[in-house]
Amino acid sequence: MAVPKRKTSPSRRDMRRAHDGLTPVNVIEDKSSGEFRRPHHIDLKTGMYRGRQVLVRKEAAAEADD
């Protein structure tokens, strides 16, 4: 079993852990609906992505079936 020869100093330990911090989620305001969403993701409220209708909302699909 491998055993370290020397104790890792707090400075070295913290430098190793420097990349473990959480980054805040990037959020933008949608141009058409004004809702907040992540960039390059579908607006789940309207179903639009880059100006095209990608998803059909449940209420709209129910009305179309009637």
Which ranges constitute the DSSP H helices of 1-66?
A: 10-16, 58-65
Domain boundaries, position 46: 25-65
Report if residue 49 sits inside a domain.
yes
Task: Please state whether the predicted TM-score (pTM) of the whole model is above 0.75.
Answer: no
Report if residue 5 sits inside a domain.
no
Q: What is the tens place of the pLDDT at every residue in 10-46?
A: 999 999 988 888 889 999 998 878 889 999 998 888 8
**Does residue 13 contact residue 4 with C-beta atoms inside 8 Å?**
no
Report if residue 7 sits inside a domain.
no
**Does residue 47 contact residue 54 with C-beta atoms inside 8 Å?**
yes
Q: What is the tens place of the pLDDT at every residue in 47-65?
A: 888 888 988 877 766 776 6
Nearest to 50 by CA among 31, 35, 36, 63: 31
Report if residue 2 sits inside a domain.
no
Report if residue 1 sits inside a domain.
no
Which residue type, as a one-letter code, is found at position 59? E
Total domain count, the chain:
1
